[in-house]
Chain A
Amino acid sequence: MTTNDFLQVGLYLVVLLLLVKPVGSYMALVFAEAPNRVTRFGSRVERGIYRLCGIRDDEAMGWKRYALAMLLFNVLGVLVVYLLQRMQQWLPLNPQHFAAVSPDSAMNTAISFATNTNWQGYAGESTMSYLTQMTGLAVQNFLSAATGIAVLVAVVRGFSRRSSLSIGNFWVDLTRSTLYVLLPLSLLIALLLVSQGVVQNFKSYVDVPVVQTTSYTETVKDAAGNALKDAAGHDVTKETPVTIQTLPMGPAASQIAIKMLGTNGGGFFNANSAHPYENPTPFSNFIEMLAIFLVPGGLCYMFGVQVGDRRQGWAILATMLVIFIPLTIGLVAAEQAGNPALHGLAVDAHASALQAGGNMEGKETRFGIASSGLFAAITTAASCGAVNAMHDSLTPLGGLVPMWLMQLGEVIFGGVGSGLYGMLAFAVVAVFIAGLMVGRTPEYLGKKIEAYEMKMASLAVLLPCALVVIGTAIAVMVPAGVAGIANPGAHGFSEILYAVSSASNNNGSAFGGLSANTPFWNVLLGICMFLARFPLAIAMLAMAGSLAAKRHVPESAGTLPTHTPLFVTLLACVVIVVGALTFLPALALGPIAESLMSGH
């Protein structure tokens, strides 16, 4: 790694840590029980919304009602996004006259955006109308993120409330997440992105004449799609001159802002944040990377405030960083070392003042190695899934890191809300293991952890693991699954493992060579995304319901302190051991095998 690689990673971490406390304190006010200066500011709009919906904001929901409201609201969102895609050809704001999306792709995309995954089997600029992007996809970017925050806030109430039957009101938590947290930050980020060159308009695509006319050759095909042959048996080819370039337009910045902030990750354009209109400069890239970790980082601090001990929040954040930093350095180092396959050729891949060097396949010049590698680690540690470089073209070990970060359960920052409630499930498992070691009833944050909590936490930890392993097994056994592979050898298996890991942890990034816009893949990944999101969230709400009803146990000599470096180490070990034991065999068949083979 070069000095600048370290500088860029270091600068990012410093700025992020400086923002954790202000953002976290602000969110603590947003979700505080008592009215305060923040919630009073927007109370008019908030009350207006509740009145129109017939919502009583003082209704205290038990965990079952909270979970039901959450599920109904999200399933309704899936249906609306599905219908918008199927009917977009008849609706306004479709300047390129895109046709209806196919049923399986539309269902996959609807589930994908409602589950905060944003797996994309389609290419944005050639599939979705502006109306579908704005009122379907971008709205779900907001609402799936708000759902994640709401569920987290309810789970934290499970720890902070005592002998209570309620874990809050889903409608209020959702509305406040959207109005106070996501909307204002998105507007700010959107304008920062536009200042760097991200497009924001409602124009049709612009055709410009190119400076040099070039041409491309393609084989001529008959009506059945077979290549035509000439008398000598050679393919008939046709040369087409290229005299114009079509520039895509659209309301991109507003959608990209929430795509990053809500850890959604679904690109406005096919190339996602590698596209110069989606991420034009190194500064826009820095803003996008910050936006990914901003809310998940802030929520750790908010958690500390809400359980009445800020050290608890810092301990969770420290655990995330302990895992994140070494893996990031590993990824950047692997990419900076370059691709051995090119070493024999007359290629200069050394880093210097004049070039980034390293493995530049699938990467943009303006980002080079450091800004691409850091982005790849951030987007998969969080369940964002936006990409500014093509992960399929990462070096074998460089590609292993994002894959494993997803497989760890999206708890290293993770999705907004979902990352922290996933980490709290691991924390419950960690105190349980510590309790077994010393033979005491485990407690966490003053609540006794008993059989019911352990069942729910285990479910939350193991469900995504099971989905990845079973989903991958199905895909490699079925011809329709293997048919999607683009690259030969071990890398082909990596493409499948990556796709199922991404969907089953609600990340959404891909080894993009995989042809996943087929009925088989759309259905398999649709099921994985849905099961990874809602049953897991419901399990956590059930745990919260049980915890909220319990009394507070005063700290005693037998209590394991959960804010110490010892606990941070224990928690990090639990996360890593679960992730390593479950996935090492599969990783050995994919990236590790490829790494051993490369260079030979």
Chain B
Amino acid sequence: MSKLLRQSFVLLLLMTVITGVLYPLLATGVAQLVFPRQANGSLIVKDGKPVGSALIGQSFTDPKYFWGRPSATTPQANNGASSGGSNLGPTNPALTDAAKQRIAALHAADPGNTAPVPVDLVTASGSGLDPEISPAAAQYQLARVAKARGLSTAQVQALLNEYTRGRQLGVLGESRVNVLQLNLALDALQR
């Protein structure tokens, strides 16, 4: 028993050094050397300063911006320090109420738009930090954004096409639009 205990203790110590220290250090070293941008959070840098991450969604409520997925993080939406979903069950009335509020907000920002709202714009994402919306959700907001900015829909459509990504390798996941990058590109267009 005491021999087994001693063996357990030393083996645990050695394994901690190997898998808990050497392995993450080696992974970090190689990652920083080969993929420095990705390993450090895929930051978007403007004028030498980080203005966000291409992977982490930000909140937009102004009609001149494309809005991202609703976020259930607290206390504020898209709280990078506290990820998570709403965890509302499918039959919970709070889920339907939240959807109604989001539809009302979209209608208030764009009263003329009577098209049905794409489902990803009325449902909270899993992480609360989803950086992307579906092309359908972007298309739904396009006329509003163009009008608020005094741009032609063709100009906004051209940018939207540029920032739309198809399924990865043609089959995996879904087509999507990065909201922060698209909004930054819109701002840059008019600067």
CA distance A342 to B172 in the complex (A): 27
**With contacts A178-B19, A276-B127, A356-B174 known, is A251 near B24, CB below 8 A?**
yes
Find residues 92-145 in chain A having any chain B CB closer than 8 Å to their own CB.
123, 125-126, 134-136, 138-139, 142-143
Nearest-neighbour CB distance to chain A for B167, whole angstroms, equals: 7
Q: Does A249 contact B (CB under 8 A)?
A: yes
**Contact present for B120 and A285 (CB under 8 Å):** no
CA distance A216 to B49 in the complex (A): 26
Q: Does B150 contact A (CB under 8 A)?
A: no
**Contact present for A216 and B65 (CB under 8 Å):** no
Q: Chain A contacts of B109 at CB under 8 A?
A: none
Q: Chain A contacts of B115 at CB under 8 A?
A: 348
**Contact present for B10 and A52 (CB under 8 Å):** yes
| Cβ proximity bits A49-69 to B, threshold 8 Å, 1 near / 0 not | 100111100000000010011
**Contact present for B90 and A395 (CB under 8 Å):** yes
Nearest neighbor of A341 in chain B, beta-carbon distance: B96
CA distance A84 to B56 in the complex (A): 30
Q: Does B124 contact A (CB under 8 A)?
A: yes
Q: Does A248 contact B (CB under 8 A)?
A: yes
Contact of A360 among B10, B120, B139 (CB under 8 A): B120
Q: Does B31 contact A (CB under 8 A)?
A: yes
Q: Does B108 contact A (CB under 8 A)?
A: no
Q: Does A73 contact B (CB under 8 A)?
A: yes
Q: Chain B contacts of A362 at CB under 8 A?
A: 85-87, 123-126
Q: Chain B contacts of A135 at CB under 8 A?
A: 16, 20-21
**Contact present for A73 and B8 (CB under 8 Å):** yes
CA distance A11 to B14 in the complex (A): 40
Contact of B134 among A69, A365, A372 (CB under 8 A): A365
Contact of A201 among B40, B51, B100 (CB under 8 A): B40
**Contact present for A212 and B65 (CB under 8 Å):** yes
Nearest-neighbour CB distance to chain B for A214, whole angstroms, equals: 5
Q: Does B190 contact A (CB under 8 A)?
A: no
| Cβ proximity bits B37-69 to A, threshold 8 Å, 1 near / 0 not | 011111100000111111111111110010001
Q: Chain B contacts of A251 at CB under 8 A?
A: 24, 27-28
CA distance A123 to B79 in the complex (A): 13
Contact of B38 among A197, A246, A513 (CB under 8 A): A197
Nearest neighbor of B5 in chain A, beta-carbon distance: A72
Which stretch from A420-428, A465-473, A482-490 is at the chain B interface? A482-490
CA distance A191 to B117 in the complex (A): 39
**Contact present for A200 and B28 (CB under 8 Å):** yes
Find residues 1-35 in chain A having any chain B CB closer than 8 Å to their own CB.
4, 7-8, 11
Contact of A348 among B118, B167, B175 (CB under 8 A): B118
Nearest-neighbour CB distance to chain B for A240, whole angstroms, equals: 7
Chain A residues touching B, majority SS: mixed
**With contacts A365-B134, A371-B172 known, is A245 near B19, CB below 8 A?**
no
Find residues 86-109 in chain B having any chain A CB closer than 8 Å to their own CB.
86-93, 95-96, 99-100, 103
| Cβ proximity bits A289-318 to B, threshold 8 Å, 1 near / 0 not | 000000000000000000000000000000
**Contact present for A345 and B99 (CB under 8 Å):** yes
Q: Does A512 contact B (CB under 8 A)?
A: yes
**Contact present for B125 and A254 (CB under 8 Å):** no
**Contact present for A390 and B58 (CB under 8 Å):** no
**Contact present for B171 and A347 (CB under 8 Å):** no
Nearest-neighbour CB distance to chain B for A593, whole angstroms, equals: 10
Which stretch from A267-275, A438-446, A522-530 is at the chain B interface? A267-275
Kindly name the residue among A196, A199, A246, A348 whose own CB sees the greatest number of chain B CB atoms within 10 A. Answer: A348
Q: Chain B contacts of A246 at CB under 8 A?
A: 79-81
**Contact present for B87 and A598 (CB under 8 Å):** no
**With contacts A242-B76, A253-B31, A338-B119 known, is A365 near B91, CB below 8 A?**
no
**Contact present for B20 and A134 (CB under 8 Å):** yes
Q: Does B154 contact A (CB under 8 A)?
A: no
CA distance A357 to B137 in the complex (A): 11
**Contact present for B116 and A271 (CB under 8 Å):** no
CA distance A253 to B120 in the complex (A): 28
Nearest-neighbour CB distance to chain B for A532, whole angstroms, equals: 22
| Cβ proximity bits B158-175 to A, threshold 8 Å, 1 near / 0 not | 000000000111011111
Q: Chain A contacts of B26 at CB under 8 A?
A: 187
Interface size class of B (residues with CB under 8 A): 35 or more
Q: Chain B contacts of A460 at CB under 8 A?
A: none
Q: Chain B contacts of A72 at CB under 8 A?
A: 4-5, 8
**With contacts A200-B31, A255-B24, A488-B92 known, is A194 near B4, CB below 8 A?**
no
**With contacts A338-B119, A491-B91 known, is A271 near B83, CB below 8 A?**
yes
CA distance A277 to B122 in the complex (A): 23
Nearest-neighbour CB distance to chain A for B148, whole angstroms, equals: 13
CA distance A424 to B118 in the complex (A): 47
Which stretch from A202-210, A401-409, A448-456, A534-542 is at the chain B interface? A202-210
Q: Does A38 contact B (CB under 8 A)?
A: no
Q: Chain B contacts of A206 at CB under 8 A?
A: 41, 43, 50
Nearest-neighbour CB distance to chain A for B35, whole angstroms, equals: 5
Nearest neighbor of B10 in chain A, beta-carbon distance: A53
Find residues 222-263 in chain A having any chain B CB closer than 8 Å to their own CB.
240, 242, 245-249, 251, 253-255, 257-258
CA distance A358 to B168 in the complex (A): 20
Q: Does B191 contact A (CB under 8 A)?
A: no
CA distance A487 to B95 in the complex (A): 10
**With contacts A202-B28, A216-B77 known, is A366 near B126, CB below 8 A?**
no
**Contact present for A389 and B134 (CB under 8 Å):** no
Nearest-neighbour CB distance to chain B for A143, whole angstroms, equals: 6
| Cβ proximity bits A383-398 to B, threshold 8 Å, 1 near / 0 not | 0000111101111100
Kindly name the residue among B15, B95, B167 whose own CB sees the greatest number of chain A CB atoms within 10 A. Answer: B15
Q: Chain B contacts of A218 at CB under 8 A?
A: 75
Q: Does A174 contact B (CB under 8 A)?
A: yes
CA distance A366 to B70 in the complex (A): 15
| Cβ proximity bits A347-372 to B, threshold 8 Å, 1 near / 0 not | 11100111111111111111110011
**With contacts A125-B83, A190-B27, A390-B86 known, is A356 near B134, CB below 8 A?**
yes
Q: Does B184 contact A (CB under 8 A)?
A: yes
**Contact present for A361 and B124 (CB under 8 Å):** yes
**Contact present for A365 and B132 (CB under 8 Å):** yes
Nearest-neighbour CB distance to chain A for B142, whole angstroms, equals: 12
The 5 closest A-B pairs by CB, nearest first: A282-B173, A274-B126, A513-B87, A368-B174, A491-B89
Contacts A214-B60, A271-B84, A274-B126 aside, 12 further interface pairs with beta carbons under 8 A come to A72-B4, A134-B20, A186-B23, A195-B34, A210-B52, A275-B127, A345-B122, A353-B175, A359-B123, A362-B125, A363-B125, A392-B87
17 A-B residue pairs with Cβ-Cβ distance under 8 Å, sorted by A, are: A76-B9, A136-B20, A138-B19, A201-B28, A208-B51, A211-B183, A215-B76, A257-B27, A274-B83, A274-B126, A276-B131, A277-B55, A354-B175, A355-B119, A366-B176, A394-B90, A491-B92
Which residues of B are in contact with A by a Cβ distance under 8 Å? 1, 3-12, 14-16, 18-21, 23-24, 26-28, 30-32, 34-35, 38-43, 49-62, 65, 69, 75-93, 95-96, 99-100, 103, 114-120, 122-137, 139, 167-169, 171-176, 180, 183-184, 187
